Amino acid sequence: MTIRPTTTANIPPTPHRWGRRAAVAALLLAATGASWAFEPFTAQYRANFMGMQADGTMRLAAAGNNRWTYSLEVSGMGARLAQSTTFERHGNGYRPLSSTDSQGGQSGMAAMLVKRQNIEATYDWSKNEARWTGDVDADKAGPVALREGDLDGMLMNLVLVQDVAAGRPLDYRLVDDGRARDQSFSVQGKESITVGGQSHQATKVMRDDGRRQITAWIVDGLPVPARILQRRNGRDHIDLQLQSID
C-alpha cells in the first residue's frame, strides 16, 4: 500500500465482530510457493488518517478471466482515500494490470488539509512498461520498464502476508508513483495484537528507508495484515487496525 504525501497522518479502527473464518483462512494459507487459493473477503479497519479518525474497508473481489481486484477505502471527518489494483495470476506469482489512487478533503478542515489527487496506472505486460496518468508530474508519467515479479503498492501488501506465512524472503521490486525501487522488509519478532476483542500472536515486519517507515503485523490465518502503520520523518502518517473480516 502506498499513501501519497500530503500532511502528517494517523489511522485508528472501528469495532466490529471477529468473524468465522478458520476454514477459509486455512484454505488461503495452505498453498505452497507464491500460488494462493484466493477467496473474496471484506476486512474492516479502524483508521487514523492525517490525524483524523476514519473507517477503512479492504476488499478482495474476483474480476473474471483469472483477474482480481484488491482495494482499500478510508473515509472520515471529511476526508477520503481510495486505492485499488486489478491484477492477474501469472505462473506462480501475480501481475498488476491497472491501479487507481485518489484522495481528497471533501468538507471541513479536511478540505484544506488533504490535497485532491487522482492517479491511474497501467501495467502493459505486452510492452513490459508501466505508465501513469492524472495528477502526475511529467517526470513521473513513465514509461518505467517492467520485470517479472514487479508489484504495485496494494499488491505488495497482499503478497507480503503470503510470504511471511511461508517464511520466504521479504524482498520486492515496487513499480509505483512513476518509478521502480527495491523494497525489503525485516522480521522484528512476535507481538500480541488485538483483533475484534481477541488477542493474537502476530509477526511484526518493518521496512525503513530513513524517511519513510512501514510496519505490518501479520497473524497466521488472516489474508490481510492485522495492523499497518506508516510513519514519515519520524511521525505517524497512517495507522490501520483490523476489526473484522468476512
Distance CA 56, CA 41 (A): 14
Contact indicator for 183, 156 with CB cutoff of 8 Å: yes
Contact indicator for 150, 124 with CB cutoff of 8 Å: no
Distance CA 141, CA 214 (A): 25
Omega cis (within 30) before 13? no
pLDDT digits (tens, 9 = 90+) for 66-84: 899 999 988 765 667 889 9
Q: Detail the DSSP E strand segments found in the chain.
A: 41-49, 52-64, 67-76, 79-90, 93-105, 117-124, 129-134, 144-145, 171-176, 179-184, 186-195, 198-208, 212-218, 227-232, 235-245
Count the alpha carbons within 13 Å of 228 in the hemisphere toward its beta carbon. Answer: 20
pLDDT digits (tens, 9 = 90+) for 48-69: 876 778 888 999 999 988 899 9
- Measuring CA to CA, which residue among 242, 147, 239, 141 is closest to residue 197? 242
Contacts of 246 (CB under 8 A, 6+ apart): 19, 21, 41, 42
Distance CA 103, CA 67 (A): 25
List phi, psi (to 5°) of 240.
Answer: -115, 125
Distance CA 40, CA 60 (A): 5
- CA 23 to centroid of chain Cα atoms: 24
- Measuring CA to CA, which residue among 238, 172, 174 is closest to residue 5? 238
Q: Which amino acid is at 61?
A: A
Q: In the chain, where are the structural domains located? A: 22-245
- Measuring CA to CA, which residue among 100, 87, 50, 65 is closest to residue 240? 50
Residue 189 region, left (φ>0) first, then alpha (ψ -120 to 50), else beta? Answer: left
- The per-residue pLDDT string of the chain (246 residues; one tens digit each, 9 = 90 and over) reads 443 433 333 333 333 333 333 223 322 333 323 344 578 999 999 988 767 788 889 999 999 888 999 999 887 656 678 899 999 988 888 999 999 988 665 555 444 455 667 889 999 999 999 999 998 888 889 899 999 999 998 899 889 999 999 999 999 999 998 999 999 999 999 999 998 888 999 999 999 887 788 999 999 989 899 999 988 877 777 889 999 988
